[in-house]
Structure 1
């Protein structure tokens, strides 16, 4: 097999299959290479190790979320329904990765780890998710406070992160609690944003913007560690 994008895709597919079958810890780079039909050296040419493979999976998840979200929000103009549809797509994708969710997400918790969502190494996935959130906002109807509109894609990405953490902790059958929460959250966010130009709501908008600014202080440049 030549060293191509197809090779990289095949290695990622093999990694997912083996992790689903045997778990993250029992999956080896040698096993992944054999399943993908490449040499071990070629596998390491594309990925430095299993953590690097996880980053590749994160990138694929972000890209898949974008594709499915675009389909899910087609014809929806209200921001609330668009947010809800996007979050439900995210939950569906999380469900698909449930066999390895603990391993994948545990490695994303470490604040200085390369798999942290704020890290430089996670830039591609983060950019894709924020791009999707930008499309949610730009494709919605209604007037939004200018400052909030500029910050909203990043704020919605943070909501996605919170949703993912909530999904991990949800032990209800079919993650029904997470799905109900997402539907309420999308509706509520849509309403709050639609009122963002109302003077009485401006203090809340200011708090949200200050929270986001503090997060940039905590993680400058989204993780220039």
Structure 2
């Protein structure tokens, strides 16, 4: 395949994804068929299926697009440096900016992902690539932070931050304040508080509390 053909293929993939998202918003996920997506995108049904075997695969591509956009913002944040709170706020804000255009129908995707066994769940095997990209963001962040903390907590902190991000997205989807300002305020209050708690973990007097927190993180993480 030539570079030109590859570029056209990527453009077609993006066109199909963008068209599908518009139809999901207008018609609903269940009522939107691959035939309707192909027709609205101006491609053949066979071409649509060539790129995406199902609607679920198409949504996974959307997830990957969001992760790649987020990663670009994250790279800038990590390259800039700063305190634990500054960098974590930067990572979360970059995510919010990527998700913002999709707020109107974000709840529909949350609903689909929440169905037990759904391939659209962030914990499903089908979501492994986008999940690993998100997890790697927090592994890089934790590995580079200068904040002193308990060694075992440092090891498990990326898992916790990934789970916290999922919770933040769910809150953001339901946030009807102008430009989701309430979500931003939650972040501004929670992140410095989290930094304080993590910093305390290095002191022996808080060892018992840290051990309980580690146990909770393991229990919440579906991969343990």
168, 171, 178: which one aligns with 1:166: 171
95, 109, 113: which one aligns with 2:114: 109
Q: In 2, are the aligned partners of 1:130 and 1:157 still within 8 Å (CA)? A: yes
Q: In 1, are the aligned partners of 2:147 and 2:199 still within 8 Å (CA)? A: yes
Q: State the superposition RMSD in angstroms.
A: 2.3
TM-score normalized with structure 1 length: 0.86
Q: In 2, are the aligned partners of 1:12 and 1:53 still within 8 Å (CA)? A: yes
Superposed CA offset, 1:144-186 (max 9, x none): 3211111111110011011011112222222111100011111
200, 204, 207: which one aligns with 1:199: 204
Within the alignment, does 1:143 sit opposite 2:172 as a pair?
no
Q: In 1, are the aligned partners of 2:23 and 2:37 still within 8 Å (CA)? A: yes
Superposed CA offset, 1:58-85 (max 9, x none): 1211221111122234323311211111
TM-score normalized with structure 2 length: 0.86
What's the counterpart of residue 10 of structure 1? Answer: 15
Q: 1 or 2, which has the higher helix percentage? A: 2
SS state of the match for residue 126, structure 1? helix
What's the counterpart of residue 24 of structure 1? Answer: 28
28, 38, 41: which one aligns with 2:43: 38
Return the alpha-carbon distance in structure 2 between the equivalents of residues 44 and 121 of structure 1: 17
Larger mean Cα displacement after TM superposition, 121-130 or 49-58: 49-58
What's the counterpart of residue 84 of structure 1? Answer: 89
Q: In 1, are the aligned partners of 2:74 and 2:94 still within 8 Å (CA)? A: yes
What's the counterpart of residue 124 of structure 1? Answer: 129
Larger mean Cα displacement after TM superposition, 11-20 or 100-109: 11-20
Q: In 2, are the aligned partners of 1:84 and 1:187 still within 8 Å (CA)? A: no
Larger mean Cα displacement after TM superposition, 201-210 or 179-188: 201-210
Return the alpha-carbon distance in structure 1 between the equivalents of residues 76 and 18 of structure 2: 24
Return the alpha-carbon distance in structure 2 between the equivalents of residues 69 and 155 of structure 1: 18
What's the counterpart of residue 68 of structure 1? Answer: 73
Q: Cα gap change, 1:102/1:23 in structure 2, threshold over 3 Å: closer, same or farther? A: farther
50, 54, 66: which one aligns with 1:49: 54
Higher-RCO chain (CA-CA 8 Å, sequence separation at least 6): 1
SS state of the match for residue 107, structure 1? helix
